[in-house]
Amino acid sequence: MHGVSRAATGWIGPRRALRLREPAVGYLFVAPAVVLLIAVLVYPALTTLRLSVTLPGGQLGVQHYGQLLSDPLFWQVVRQTAAFVVASVSAHLLLGLGAALAVAGTVPARGLFRVVALLPWVVPDVVAGIVWKWILNPLYGVLNDLLMAGRLVDQPLEWLTHPSLAPLSLILANVWRGFPFVMVILLAGLQSIPQDLYEAASLDGAGSWARFRFVTLPGLRKVLVVALALDTIWEVRRFGLVQAMTGGGPGTLTEVLSTQVFKQYFQFYRFEYASAMAVAMTVLLLAVSLPYVRMIMQEE
């Protein structure tokens, strides 16, 4: 305990930390993960890439990309995916950070809250989609019954079929299921911030906002970046929940990239076009996540 305190106090001092030298040793640590990923992902990636430039006659060409980029439905789906991801990730962050701070603090029964706030995460996303669809069911849905019994609405709401309500219902369910991940990862991050820093800040007369701003946030920075990066990628790939809840409907209003790729591949048998769409999706994601990569590799 004392050892940590002393070291941690030193950490905030001006002395710049030494970095271990031998890169070869570093590569040894990294190797198992990298080799495994190369082994299992290079072949599928090349297959996809090749399919995406294979034309009906067997020649190679980029026509599928041309079709893709000129299809208004593709761009509509890109916009919808972006809206879905931005809304989900920001709500996850807001609720996750709030919940993590709250249960790490001095509230009563925080052990209980810690378990409660985790619960939605143990429900598989497909199952979460089905359960919410059941709650919002147009005939037997309990939420409408509750709202009507409480005289909050006088007509059942069309949660899953109203063109502007359906995307919101989807986000409602996705936030429910997804915020615990951010909470848990931030809660773990909070545990790693040395208690002394808070004590030192308090001694300096810092209020709770200042402590949050100058101790908590910087201490969480790396973990926060990781949580955001992973959550963003994860929400772009989100498939089961959307497929189970709305199947992309009404019409195509809740269609996202992952459900579109699935449809094109497994229902319309357009393997090449679906591959082109997947490659486009990867490129888009790559562009979005480059800043995250830079941030995570930044030196303090």
Looking at 74, 88, 133, 216, which residue binds another protein (CB under 8 A)?
133
Q: How far is the CB of 202 from another protein (least distance, A)?
A: 11
Of 79-87, 178-186, 198-206, the segment contacting another protein by CB under 8 A is 178-186
Q: How far is the CB of 30 from another protein (least distance, A)?
A: 4
**Residues between 196 and 225 that touch another protein (CB under 8 A):** 208, 219, 222-223, 225
Binding mask 56-75 for another protein (x = CB under 8 A): --------------------
Of 80-88, 197-205, 233-241, the segment contacting another protein by CB under 8 A is 233-241
Looking at 160, 171, 197, 242, which residue binds another protein (CB under 8 A)?
160
**Residues between 252 and 281 that touch another protein (CB under 8 A):** 252-253, 257-258, 261-263, 265-270, 274-275, 278, 281
Whether the upstream peptide bond of residue 194 has omega within 30° of 0, thus cis, is no
* CA proximity to 117, closest of 133, 101, 132: 101
Of 26-34, 80-88, 197-205, the segment contacting another protein by CB under 8 A is 26-34
**The two three-digit tokens of residue 300, written as one number:** 């303090």
Of 80-88, 180-188, 198-206, the segment contacting another protein by CB under 8 A is 180-188
* CA proximity to 281, closest of 298, 260, 296: 260
What CA–CA distance (Å, rounded) separates 82 from 238? 12
Looking at 77, 81, 121, 215, which residue binds another protein (CB under 8 A)?
121
DSSP-assigned states of every residue in 42-86: HHHHHHHHHHHTB-TTS-B-SHHHHHHHT-HHHHHHHHHHHHHHH
How many chain residues touch another protein (CB under 8 A)? Answer: 138
Q: How far is the CB of 282 from another protein (least distance, A)?
A: 4
**Bridge partners (DSSP) listed for residue 60:** 54
**Is 167 within 8 Å of 216 (Cβ atoms)?**
no
Question: CB-wise, 1 or 203, nearer to another protein?
Answer: 1
**Is 233 within 8 Å of 258 (Cβ atoms)?**
no
Looking at 47, 83, 153, 210, which residue binds another protein (CB under 8 A)?
47
- Within 13 A of 80's CA, how many CA atoms are on the CB side? 27
Of 75-83, 84-92, 122-130, 198-206, the segment contacting another protein by CB under 8 A is 122-130
- Axis crossing angle, helix 165-191 with helix 217-237, rounded to the nearest 10: 140
The answer to whether 167 contacts another protein (rule: CB under 8 A) is no
What CA–CA distance (Å, rounded) separates 86 from 249? 20
Q: Which residues contact 250 (CB under 8 A, 6 or more apart)?
A: 160, 161, 162, 163, 166
